[in-house]
Structure 1
Amino acid sequence: MTDLILQQRDGAILTLTLNEPERRNPISDIATVDALIAAVEAADADIEVRCVILTGAGSAFSSGGDLKKMVPGGGLRDERPVQTRRNYKTGIQRIPLAFQALEVPVVCAINGPAIGAGLDLTTMCDIRVAAESARFAESFVKLGIIPGDGGAWLLPRIIGFPMACELALTGRTIDAGEALRIGLVTHVVSDGMLMAKAHEIAAEIAANPPHATRMAKRLLREGQTATLPNILDMSAAMQALAHATADNDEAIKAFLERRTPNFTGQ
């Protein structure tokens, strides 16, 4: 059986590739859910991995759910609604929860269409870079369903409530240029330069002290829902940890000596 998630390590950067190009990389199958979660959780557990890049094989990033299996008994959808609910909770809904818990930064390299749950998967990542051929659609309403994988929580936090409403309620497709304009992605590059740009950003992240980087990401994630007093308390506690690292001492010493720091993750 072909690996559902390809893994390629380049120093401190780990590239994960959704690997069902003939099916346009759907993420609704339980085997894919398990493989993706296992891969990102393993990366999170390894402090030597300082950044993850997520992309798709072939011409699409991800088609989201497999429409051929969206019939009673075909996959997520069961003949009994109560079982369909459980299928979502024990299946695709585990992905946003896993990504929300990650401390390792994730850069999404969107190599082609990201449709439905595929679009929502991009919003689970921290930074999004798109190829010019990328297309995006929060297209659930076109199928008579709703975002079942957390899109109603994720999308407004990135592009704002009004624009999220427009995309989710019309189901229309936008191109990479519009995605950049509304803030869904931070960069659009030629298809041939996509992975180079993603690696450039990942390398900038990976060059920083890993513990500080991970704690900074944790604070940013918590800041999506926490109050300011709670974030300040958490920031004070994490800052105490950061000050106790050898990397903090090295950063200050290198600054005073006007040289490039050598961070070891200690």
Structure 2
Amino acid sequence: MKPFLRERREGRVAVLTMDRPETQNAVSDPDAIEALLAACTRIAADREVRAVVLTGSGGAFCSGGNVKALRDQVGSGLGLPVLSRDAYRDGIQRMVLAWYALEVPTIAAVNGHAIGAGMDLACLCDIRIASEQARFACSFVRLGLIPGDGGAWLLPRLVGRSRAAELAFTGRAIDAQQARADGLVSQVVAPEQLMPAALALAQEIAAQPGHALRLGKRLLREGEHVRLDTLLELSAAFQALAHHTPEHEERLAAFGSGRTKAVPRP
């Protein structure tokens, strides 16, 4: 079986493509989980990477769980519930935690269906850009399941509690324009413009100082669950670090000389 994930670099942007169209890029298979985990590890350790674009091949972004494999497992018995719980914690939930903790800004270029865990994976990204052909569904309830990979935490923070409940309790699919109206995506573009738009935004982000991007993303993540006074303390510490970097000094010098843009350090 070919690798689940293809990776290429566009300067300081890492482009990750989920490439298993025969399963509509289902993310629940063990090798798919490990591929996304390994990519997180590589990118986190590479200070040259300043932005990530995640997309899918074929007509889907990610179909979530591999329903055929799930059906086969049900037919042969899933085993003890405690073992099923461990399979979630040791499998897809490790990927969710790693993707959420990644300090490099991430963009989901949603080219087609983002269903179940695939929608959750898009929600883990900082920014979502959708093709006009994209569809989103928190579809677990239609299989008699619940969001097992973080969607119940992620979705209300993006679209609000009432709308998240409506989507979760009905399993209803929404199109790209509705996703934009709900605040789930920030842009909707023609299919042929999806990757150019995502890469243009990623390159704009990647032109900024790497330390400020990583610290800024960490601050946004912490702001989701700490008190304001705690966040201010963390902001003071991060800002103190940022003040004492060559990139900050260069940007100050460029501003003082009247130049509106500074060239990032190589």
Same-fold call, TM > 0.5? yes
Alpha-carbon distance in 2 for matches of 1:226, 1:72: 42
Q: Which runs of 5+ in 2 are unaligned?
A: none
TM-score (norm 2): 0.96
2:248 corresponds to which letter in structure 1? N
Aligned residue number for residue 121 of structure 1? 121
Q: Report the Cα offset of residue 71 of structure 1.
A: 3.5
1:166-199 per-residue CA deviation (whole Å, 9 max, x = no partner) reads 1000100000000000000000000000000101
Alpha-carbon distance in 2 for matches of 1:74, 1:199: 41
Aligned residue number for residue 16 of structure 1? 16
2:173 corresponds to which letter in structure 1? T
Worse-matched range after superposition: 210-219 or 39-48: 39-48
Alpha-carbon distance in 1 for matches of 2:78, 2:106: 33
Alpha-carbon distance in 2 for matches of 1:224, 1:52: 21
- Partner-residue secondary structure (3-state), 1:61: strand
Any residues of structure 2 matched to 1:108-257 within 5 Å, and which? 108-257=108-257
| Contact 1:131 1:194 (8 Å CA) reproduced | yes
Q: Report the Cα offset of residue 99 of structure 1.
A: 1.4
Alpha-carbon distance in 2 for matches of 1:81, 1:71: 16
Alpha-carbon distance in 1 for matches of 2:134, 2:68: 23
Alpha-carbon distance in 1 for matches of 2:8, 2:164: 34
1:53-93 per-residue CA deviation (whole Å, 9 max, x = no partner) reads 00001110000001112147369x72211110000001111
Aligned residue number for residue 88 of structure 1? 88
Tell me how large the CA RMSD over aligned residues is: 1.3
| Contact 1:68 1:74 (8 Å CA) reproduced | no
Same amino acid, percent of matched pairs: 51
Aligned residue number for residue 262 of structure 1? 263
- Partner-residue secondary structure (3-state), 1:136: strand
Worse-matched range after superposition: 222-231 or 66-75: 66-75
Q: Which runs of 5+ in 1 are unaligned?
A: none
Determine if the alignment matches structure 1 residue 105 to structure 2 residue 105: yes
Alpha-carbon distance in 1 for matches of 2:30, 2:227: 35
- Partner-residue secondary structure (3-state), 2:16: strand
Alpha-carbon distance in 1 for matches of 2:89, 2:82: 11
Alpha-carbon distance in 1 for matches of 2:39, 2:180: 28
1:131 corresponds to which letter in structure 2? S
Worse-matched range after superposition: 256-265 or 236-245: 256-265
- Partner-residue secondary structure (3-state), 2:128: strand
Question: Are the structure 2 counterparts of residues 162 and 261 from structure 1 closer, same or farther at C-alpha, using a change threshold of 3 Å?
Answer: same
- Partner-residue secondary structure (3-state), 1:130: strand
Moved over 2 A (4+): 71-75
1:7-45 per-residue CA deviation (whole Å, 9 max, x = no partner) reads 010110010001101110000011110111111221111
Alpha-carbon distance in 2 for matches of 1:41, 1:108: 18
1:81-109 per-residue CA deviation (whole Å, 9 max, x = no partner) reads 11100000011111220112110010000
TM-score (norm 1): 0.96
Aligned residue number for residue 31 of structure 1? 31
Alpha-carbon distance in 2 for matches of 1:22, 1:68: 11
Question: Are the structure 2 counterparts of residues 79 and 162 from structure 1 closer, same or farther at C-alpha, using a change threshold of 3 Å?
Answer: same
- Partner-residue secondary structure (3-state), 1:70: helix
Alpha-carbon distance in 2 for matches of 1:41, 1:156: 28
